[in-house]
Structure 1
């Protein structure tokens, strides 16, 4: 089973490099265009299930795909909302990252351990039961969500990956696609990280055969 973790399109706060976290921002003009382009990419896949964060920027990003493929089941979930960063929200990203690095991971807002707990709850309750039943699942969510899951799979679960691809694209940009192949309920391989080739109509990380 393939799972495609997709970040939402650009918002004004993204463009201004402001940490938004739980702030329910909407897509800007560029973000809406990105949503159309990633929808074209996803339409080429044999998607048979979609999960989407309940935040506006995610629902707006998945909307073009839903319009194209209304037959695909979609479930909106609070479990894959972005982390609540508390007092850091509204702060320049660079400044927020510095404070996060200098303090305990659970110091601000929701805390990293709480974030990971709810993300794994989503994974265990929604994704794992589909193993052996679905072929291609899309999870439309947030950069912080994708990064937390990716790090957990690589560091704690031992998912394999191509080092060159990881180093080339470590940052999850807007509508970046991270493709995971589940080889069992406990293991898998990460085929690409935050790929945005669809934004320039390229295909540097072509979908694998299902």
Structure 2
């Protein structure tokens, strides 16, 4: 099985470094353009199935992919962004300062009314297991979020979420994860944005 793990297009909150978490935020003009280019790339890669986080920014990105590939969007709550609780709507810097001042390690710290990166990694593990059970020898595209995709990549590599902040995930990037019985799980590509530089 091959997974094309993608991030949604840019939002104004992304460009302003505002924590989004589970907030419903639309793509901005740049993000919509990125989604078109991501969809064009995925249409050439020809995935068999399309999964998406149900949040607005991922669904808008997935709608473009669906329009270009003809694939039905399968909404999947396991793909939601890490729940940032009371920090949603705050600046990223404010949340980082709170995380660094906490007694627990960063990946185990959870904002009030939110979840930790380690809890999100466990959610990613459930999604990967679901794909293994349903889509052997098939190709799946999944549209999710920057923080969540970082811990999903770490889960695929067999690591905990401690190094979540060391994996870059730009808007509308593609990561390629391959799972087979001979080699196990192999992360073949991370944060590929070369398709965004292509001219339409």
Per the normalisation by structure 2, the TM-score is 0.85
Per the alignment, do residues 106 and 65 of structure 1 end up closer, same or farther by CA in structure 2, a change over 3 Å counting?
same
Per the alignment, do residues 193 and 16 of structure 1 end up closer, same or farther by CA in structure 2, a change over 3 Å counting?
same
Deviation at 1:59, TM superposition (A): 0.6
Question: What's the RMSD between the two structures over aligned residues?
Answer: 2.1
Per the normalisation by structure 1, the TM-score is 0.82
Deviation at 1:153, TM superposition (A): 2.2
Distance in structure 2 (CA, Å) of the matches to 1:91 and 1:185: 45
Deviation at 1:197, TM superposition (A): 0.8
Pick from 165, 170, 181 the counterpart of residue 167 of structure 2.
170
Distance in structure 1 (CA, Å) of the matches to 2:127 and 2:182: 14
Is 1:55 paired with 2:55?
Answer: yes
> Counterpart in 2 of 1:138?
141
Q: Count matched residues.
A: 188
Give the 5 Å matches for 1:1-210: 1-70=1-70, 72-103=71-102, 104=104, 105-108=108-111, 109-125=114-130, 127-134=131-138, 136-156=139-159, 170-184=167-181, 187-201=184-198
Does the 8 Å contact 2:18/2:90 carry over to 1? yes
Distance in structure 1 (CA, Å) of the matches to 2:14 and 2:98: 19
Deviation at 1:131, TM superposition (A): 4.5
Distance in structure 2 (CA, Å) of the matches to 1:148 and 1:56: 21
Distance in structure 2 (CA, Å) of the matches to 1:148 and 1:186: 21
Q: Any idea what the Cα deviations from partners look like across 1:171-198, whole Å, max 9, x if unmatched?
A: 1010011111112399221111111111
Deviation at 1:97, TM superposition (A): 2.4
Q: Any idea what the Cα deviations from partners look like across 1:95-151, whole Å, max 9, x if unmatched?
A: 3223224433233112223322222222212x11134341x2101000111001112
Distance in structure 1 (CA, Å) of the matches to 2:129 and 2:46: 23
User: What runs of 5+ residues in structure 2 fail to find an aligned partner?
Assistant: 161-165
* 1:66 aligned counterpart, secondary structure: helix
